[in-house]
Structure 1
Amino acid sequence: MKAILTNFGSTGDIQPFVALALELRRHGHHPVLALSPAFADHVRRQGLDFAPIGPDLRTVQDSINHSMISSPSVTGSASRLLGLFGPLAEALPRMFEELREVSRGADVLISGRMQPAARMVHDLTQVPFVSIHVEHSGGTEGGSGGSPAFQEAVRATINPLRARLGLPPFPNPLVDGNSPQLVLYANSRHVRQVPAGLPSHFHFTGYFFLEDEAFTPEPALADFLAAGEPPVVMTFGSMPYEDPEAMTDIFLGAAERAGRRAIIQQGWASLARRTLPPTVLTAGVVPHSWLFPRAAAVVHHGGAGTTASAFRAGVPQVLVPHAYDQFVWADIAHQLGCAAPPLPLPQLSAQSLGEALRALLASPRARETATTLGERIRAEQGVLKARQLIEALVERVGLSSPARADLSTDDDSAEDASGQALRRKNLLQRQRARRQDD
């Protein structure tokens, strides 16, 4: 089975797709990650095939993140949001064309809901299509789609290209863009209550975690961890700041007030690039699956992927939500009992964070709750369940899918129909054999 996996976003949005691709490869399938060129090295280090889709939009995403953080009122203005999304609208036709090209001859297209080009490819080619939600999308059928202003801006970004392709407009693109065949929530039932009234093709699978078994820490990191009690890990991921030094000061002051050693991950904002006290270490890219279990607590921004990693590690958390669904995850973590009350960015200071850490680390209940939750989440097999559901979809609709000749107009690049049918027949036989082994 040739599977194309695509999404748009930061590392936390991409990691679950890499994890799913590795699961597919372990079971004899051929996954291809179709992502922003920024992720080429990350994907290829895993030995996976990579196809660049569109331009490198990290600068654009950084600008959007910064505007969302620094101007909360931006979410109330469709015109301002549309201005932020302008580069995405310009890049979308190219992303669509390149994704359609990569999808030629694919057996299934697997996409996050933030990649609108995928639904367009499905609508035009009828390639079997899977939507995956890694964020907290809410609602019963793929989320609310955001505020009215946000929906208006997304419509103005996506629907013009749909019209040029002869496709009907979507009133609510982030909801309407879900697959009509299979939608997977890569969330844990131990964290989120399954929404009532989900259609039969919607499934909660559990988180998709990327295992970093081969990771070897730098000597400085290994030595720091071995030299004392578990530190507090502080990481704000892809969040940008006008003054990274001021944020570094907050982290250092909070660690001192809490009386704890700390590891500060630099993230996209390049935090802690200075001489630090001996009780604090700065770190670059370190897999959260490796680092978080070695922490006394984790301070983070509440991104979906980072929150999931902290849940899995079984460590208490302080969430400092900045934007997007981070506020929802902060509330959920606190309600579960494994996190301090949410500490929104405007309220963040060395004093407020230090006090939150002291109270959290002094709470046996928070530690016990986090430990129990981590055990439950580690017992889930999200990527296995997802892989089985995807295989079942391809078996159910793959053979009956219309020929996808419109993926290419070149006769010499079209796959021979009889060869394609034979390949699918062999695929289904292998899938049936694997299900007997699972």
Structure 2
Amino acid sequence: MIAIGEELRQRGFDVVISISQPYASIAERSGLQTEVIISEAQFHEMVGDPAVWKTVRGVRRVLRAMADHFVVPHHDVIRKHYRAGETVLVSHPLDFASRVVREADENAKLAAVHLQPVLLRTPDDPPRLTPWPIEPTGPPWLIRAGYYLADHLGLDPVIRPPVNRLRAQYDLPPIRRVLDQWWLSPDRVIGMYPQWFAPATDLFQPRLVHAGFPLADHDDAPFDPPKDRPIVFTMGTAHYHSRQFFQRAAKACQSLDHPGILLSSHSENFPAQLPAQVRTCPYVSLQKLLPHCAAIVHHGGIGTTSQALAAGVPQIIRPMAFDQFDNARRVENLRCGHWLRRDAKLGNMLSHVLANATMTDTCSLIASKLKEPAGAKIAADQIVALL
């Protein structure tokens, strides 16, 4: 979202972004006006909760937190800055307030930005939502039934009440199944990923615009690239519970006699003792680091996944929750990596990936498609067209 805002700012538009405190400085360096609606303490309380990283409970925890605590503050930001006929609302998937304002004000325009394909309900090509081998993939009527049950039993109870309270302020009738069709903008739906990563299905072909990955790098710190082609291991910048995984990663590097880098923003994740082949790093730009690496093992977040694809680096994905299972499936389908279903297989899988010349060639081919990233530019074009 920051990359899109930066592109719009460069075109001369005023850009205001509701944001979490830990990311506010990045947005401000990009010239955006920030409105902090999630404090540092609230952010770390949420991502530090182990339940957030569970397959089913995690989604409910995040949706409940966003609906209960941030719908109203974000709505206040909208009302503060909104100018009828001059403003386009650009919504993140967890932004329900913008959709309410779009329905209440006939002059409002809304571009719904989807950072990952898992969020779009496509019964004719359903995303992967769990690690469970019994997860159905069709027929479409069965997938629709699954979404219906998920809405009524799990999702609506946590997000519908706050959304309907906001709707009542505009004398709008209450709704059900918030995440089914209602939350999608009637004006523009933008997928921040390429067509080849997640093709539009028959249900979304008319309304989905593929912009491409937003691969902008906001880190201008000096960088000394590694010379030893290490394997990179990360569970994401917001993950607090990676110590056991990093211990396995270190053992795998030791058994393969291959250098490794453990990445985490939280030093408590790093094991106290590490073999000589393994070093740690609190943060580094993946866009700068990955072209100098042999492979990356990560959680499957869309940001890390897209940076690895752009760098042409083989991936091993160890998903935990949210969109990560679907991203792992798509990387496997592209033949650019593997889904790690059991940590005990990490060493063997790494050995296979490092020796797989075919996978390396495929990764290079995919990377060639991302040499000129235009995701933020295309998204900005679509947003400006709504004015």
Give the TM-score normalised by structure 1: 0.74
State the match for 2:6 in structure 1. Answer: 22
Partner residue, 1:407: none
Distance 1:104 1:191, change over 3 A: same
Confirm or deny: 8 A CA contact 1:53 1:99 kept in the other structure: no
Matches within 5 A, 1:110-259: 110-125=90-105, 126-136=107-117, 137-140=119-122, 147-148=150-151, 149-152=153-156, 153-174=158-179, 175-198=181-204, 200-212=206-218, 214-217=220-223, 222=224, 225-226=226-227, 229-238=228-237, 240-242=239-241, 244-259=242-257
Q: How far apart, in 2, do the equivalents of 1:260 and 1:307 lie?
A: 22
TM-fit CA distance, 1:301: 0.4
Q: Is the 8 A contact 2:233 2:246 kept in 1?
A: no
Shift of 1:55: 4.2
Give the alignment partner of residue 39 of structure 1, picking from 11, 14, 23.
23
Identity %: 24
**1:132–1:86 CA distance, 2 compared to 1 (3 A):** closer
Deviation at 1:86? 5.1
Whole-Å Cα distance in 2 between the matches of residues 63 and 160 of structure 1?
A: 29
Q: Which residue of 2 aligns with 1:357?
A: 350
Within 2, Cα distance between the matches of 1:339 and 1:292? Answer: 15
Corresponding residue of 1:401: none
1:393 to partner: Cα distance = 1.5
Tell me which residue corresponds to 2:44: 59
Q: Larger Rg: 1 or 2?
A: 1
Q: Distance in 1 between matches of 2:97 and 2:62?
A: 20
| Alpha-carbon distance change, 164 to 292 in structure 1, aligned in 2, over 3 angstroms | same
3-state secondary structure, aligned to 1:207: coil
Distance in structure 2 (CA, Å) of the matches to 1:365 and 1:199: 32
Aligned to 1:311: 309
What is the CA–CA distance in structure 2 between the aligned matches of 1:353 and 1:291, rounded to whole Å? 22
**Gapped regions of structure 2 (runs ≥ 5):** 128-143
1:321-400 matches, within 5 Å, as: 321-340=319-338, 342-344=339-341, 347-349=342-344, 352-394=345-387
Query: How far apart are the structure 2 equivalents of 1:380 and 1:240?
Result: 27
CA distance in 2, matches of 1:157, 1:63: 24
- Structure 1 269/91 Cα, relative in aligned 2: closer, same or farther at 3 Å? farther
Alignment check: 8 A CA contact 1:245 1:272 kept: yes
CA contact (8 A) 2:111 2:187 kept: yes
Question: Residue 93 of structure 1 is aligned with which of 68, 72, 75?
Answer: 72
- 1:273 CA drift (Å): 6.0
Compute the displacement of 1:203 (Å). 0.8
Q: 1:343 to 1:335 in 2, by over 3 A?
A: same
Amino acid at match of 2:108: V
> What amino acid does structure 2 have at the position aligned with 1:231?
P
Divergent runs of 4+, >4 A: 140-146
Structure having the larger proportion of residues in helix: 1
Residues 55 and 165 (structure 1 numbering): CA distance in 2 closer, same or farther, change over 3 Å? farther
**1:13-72 CA distances to partner (integer Å, 9 max, x unpaired)?**
xxxx111112112222222222122321221233332222354431343156x21435x4
Is this contact kept in 2: 1:212–1:289, CA < 8 A? no
TM-score (norm 2): 0.83
**1:263 paired residue among 251, 261, 267:** 261
1:108 aligns with 2:58: no
**8 Å Cα contact 2:229-2:293 kept in structure 1:** yes
| Count of residues in correspondence between the two structures | 359
SS of 1:253 mapped into structure 2:
helix
| Matching of residues 272-291 of structure 1 within 5 Å | 272=270, 274=272, 276-291=274-289
1:129–1:281 CA distance, 2 compared to 1 (3 A): same
Question: Are the structure 2 counterparts of residues 69 and 51 from structure 1 closer, same or farther at C-alpha, using a change threshold of 3 Å?
Answer: closer
Aligned residues of 1:293 and 1:315 also touching (Cα < 8 A): yes
The separation in 1 between residues aligned to 2:292 and 2:167, in whole angstroms, is 48
- CA distance 1:369–1:83, shift in 2 (3 Å): closer
> Judging changes above 3 Å, is the alpha-carbon distance between structure 1 residues 62 and 212 closer, same or farther for their aligned structure 2 residues?
closer
C-alpha displacement of 1:167:
2.5
Partners of 2:8 and 2:380 lie apart in 1 by 6
Q: Distance in 1 between matches of 2:386 and 2:102?
A: 14
- How many angstroms apart in 1 are the aligned matches of 2:266 and 2:30? 22
1:268 positional shift: 5.3
Q: CA RMSD in A?
A: 2.9
Alignment partner, residue 132 of structure 2 = none
Q: Is this contact kept in 2: 1:85–1:157, CA < 8 A? A: no
Give per-residue Cα distances to partners, 1:165-203, cap 9 Å, x unaligned. Answer: 433333222341121111101111121122223263421
